Amino acid sequence: MLPHLTTLIPGPRSLALAAKLRRHESRNVTFLADDFPIFWQRAEGVNVWDADGNRFLDLTSAFGVSGLGHTNAAVRAALVAQSGELLHAMGDVHPTELKAELCARLSALTYERWGAGDGKTVLSSSGSDAVETALKTALLRTGKAGVIAFTGGYHGLGLGALSAIGLPYFREPFRAQLKDFATLLPYPAERGGLPGGLRGQIEETIRAGGIGCVLVEPVQGRGGCVVPPREFLPMLREVCDTHGMLLIADEIYTGFNRTGALFACEHSGVVPDLICLGKALTGGFPLSACVGRAEVMDAWPESSGEALHTSTFLGNPLGCAMALASLAQHDDPALAAHVRERGAKLRAALAALRSPHLGEIRGLGLMLGVELIERTEDCRGSCQLPQSPDHPPGESGRFPYSRPATALAIAIIKHALRDGLLLLADSPTSNVLSFTPPFAISDDEIAFTAARLQEYLTLLPGSIS
Ligand SMILES: Cc1ncc(COP(=O)(O)O)c(C=O)c1O
């Protein structure tokens, strides 16, 4: 047993709440086990406290939402002030000044900042909603319903977004309710460079007809923190320009400085036609946005009194107020530089870990992944790369002759929880520990995290091959 492991997490209150959930929440939602989860009570900065009073270091920013820190003072002040004024308005009928202000700010931070004219926005509630708005826009603009998307891609679980995601686990049980408008092509990983045949595959898909857009994450998050080669997005831009298709950047995870640039597409200087935003946009309110070049968004007909695409909570004033307070902080180039510096520190600490189970350490800024593998016998030249729809070769990491160490990843997440570290795993095989902490993570917190990880990698059962 690791010396500092405590049996008090989850504590009695969390266990009682788990029992309540087991009885009253649909059983597919929250993973409930004897040693998981804890129930969040409050949070501040990089820390979270659970219902039993235990403090945790959040290495996840709660799915990438809280980069500016939990309960960020300015965002909270905006929420508190707004809550005394107006909780809800009529988003597409009689809206608020805040909605107009937010649409203008989103334009200023994207298309105007990129020197591409005005941007226009459709607001919505979830990331999945924003992606579906983008897909509808592409159909209206091009008249073509087909979408090129990528293996390992995650775009949300609404039936439209689900049709375009590259993680079969989420899609397959609902195939009968989905329309086959997406063609999935392999997402290239940085280490291999741009595969020679990929452009050909894209061209061939386009030649088959009906493709109106390419939907892509500039860095895949849920797919396992996969950074593509630098030429990938520029190549997609060129293909879209050549064929009159739209390039949709899904920056719901990568947006707002997470990768060390305000938006991840800026690393390769590519301006997408549409950008999908969510998560960190507000730092904690379900509000998302599809922002597009004005002439692209003008494919939508002018409202004649009945909006073609809207929702009850569109442009909710609480969310808009929080987003404006959050954007005011993101619009500071020093923040991107800070994330790059913190990211380099965390990456160096992760790269110094020693274990035969370490595969690739990858990512950008404070969006980092540590791949855990079981190395198989050295069969170089004589055995096949592991290939399956769930584990395509592009994601198999630095050591192709290996299996994903999923059980080790899960054991590490559970041990980390009991040591006060909140950690998640991504990738189709859940073997990539993902590190997306709040931007204020300190040197000491990085050192603590790395020391614990080294201990797990050395001491956990199954960690020595
Ligand atoms: C890249 C990306 N797109 C879309 C989504 C879906 O967002 P939501 O869960 O808010 O629907 C996610 C969520 O993780 C995401 O990472």
What does the pLDDT read at residue 384? 41
The residue behind tokens 């923190």 is: 225
Specify the pTM.
0.94
Expressed in angstroms and rounded, the spacing between residue 411 Cα and the centre of ligand 1 is 25
CA distance linking residue 45 with residue 439, whole number of Å: 9
Report the pLDDT averaged over residues 72-80.
98
The distance of Cα 190 from the centroid of its chain, to the nearest Å, equals: 18
Expressed in angstroms and rounded, the spacing between residue 156 Cα and the centre of ligand 1 is 5
Dihedrals phi, psi of 400, to nearest 5 degrees: -65, -25
Residue 459: which pLDDT band, with cuts at 50, 70 and 90?
confident
127 lines ligand 1 (CB under 6 A): yes
Ligand 1 atom with the shortest distance to the CA of 288: 10
Expressed in angstroms and rounded, the spacing between residue 275 Cα and the centre of ligand 1 is 13
255 lines ligand 1 (CB under 6 A): no
Range with lowest mean pLDDT among 36-40, 110-114, 457-461? 457-461
> How many CB atoms are located within 10 Å of the residue 254 CB?
27
Residue-wise pLDDT for 98-124, tens only, equals 999 999 999 999 999 999 999 999 999
What does the pLDDT read at residue 376? 78
Residue-wise pLDDT for 325-357, tens only, equals 999 999 999 999 999 999 999 999 999 999 999
CA distance linking residue 428 with residue 431, whole number of Å: 8
Pocket test of ligand 1: the residue of 123, 128, 265 to mutate, having most ligand atoms within 8 Å of its CB, is 128
250 lines ligand 1 (CB under 6 A): yes
Report the pLDDT averaged over residues 428-435.
97
Transcribe 38-50 into DSSP letters. Answer: --EEEEEBTEEEE
> How many CB atoms are located within 10 Å of the residue 309 CB?
17
* Domains of the chain by start residue, with CATH: 12-71+334-459 (3.90.1150.10), 76-331 (3.40.640.10)
Residue-wise pLDDT for 386-401, tens only, equals 444 444 433 445 676 7
Expressed in angstroms and rounded, the spacing between residue 252 Cα and the centre of ligand 1 is 6
CA distance linking residue 92 with residue 305, whole number of Å: 9
Report the pLDDT averaged over residues 312-332.
98
Residue-wise pLDDT for 231-275, tens only, equals 999 999 999 999 999 999 999 999 999 999 999 999 999 999 999
419 lines ligand 1 (CB under 6 A): no
Expressed in angstroms and rounded, the spacing between residue 248 Cα and the centre of ligand 1 is 14
Expressed in angstroms and rounded, the spacing between residue 144 Cα and the centre of ligand 1 is 24
Does residue 204 surpass a pLDDT of 60? yes
Beta partners for residue 94, in sequence order = 90
CA distance linking residue 4 with residue 451, whole number of Å: 12
260 lines ligand 1 (CB under 6 A): no
Look up residue 463 and give its two tokens.
């960690």
What does the pLDDT read at residue 7? 56
285 lines ligand 1 (CB under 6 A): no
Expressed in angstroms and rounded, the spacing between residue 134 Cα and the centre of ligand 1 is 13
Sheet with 40-44: strands ordered across: 40-44, 47-50, 55-58, 421-422
Does residue 319 surpass a pLDDT of 60? yes
60 lines ligand 1 (CB under 6 A): no
Does residue 41 surpass a pLDDT of 60? yes
% residues pLDDT > 70 (the chain): 92
Closest CA to 184 of 194, 250, 162: 162
Nearest CA residue ID for atom 16, ligand 1 = 253
Does residue 4 surpass a pLDDT of 60? no
160 lines ligand 1 (CB under 6 A): no
CA distance linking residue 275 with residue 292, whole number of Å: 6
Report the pLDDT averaged over residues 131-137.
98
Nearest CA residue ID for atom 6, ligand 1 = 156
> How many CB atoms are located within 10 Å of the residue 7 CB?
9
- Over the chain, what is the mean pLDDT? 93
Does residue 218 surpass a pLDDT of 60? yes
Ligand 1 atom with the shortest distance to the CA of 286: 10
Look up residue 399 and give its two tokens.
């050591």
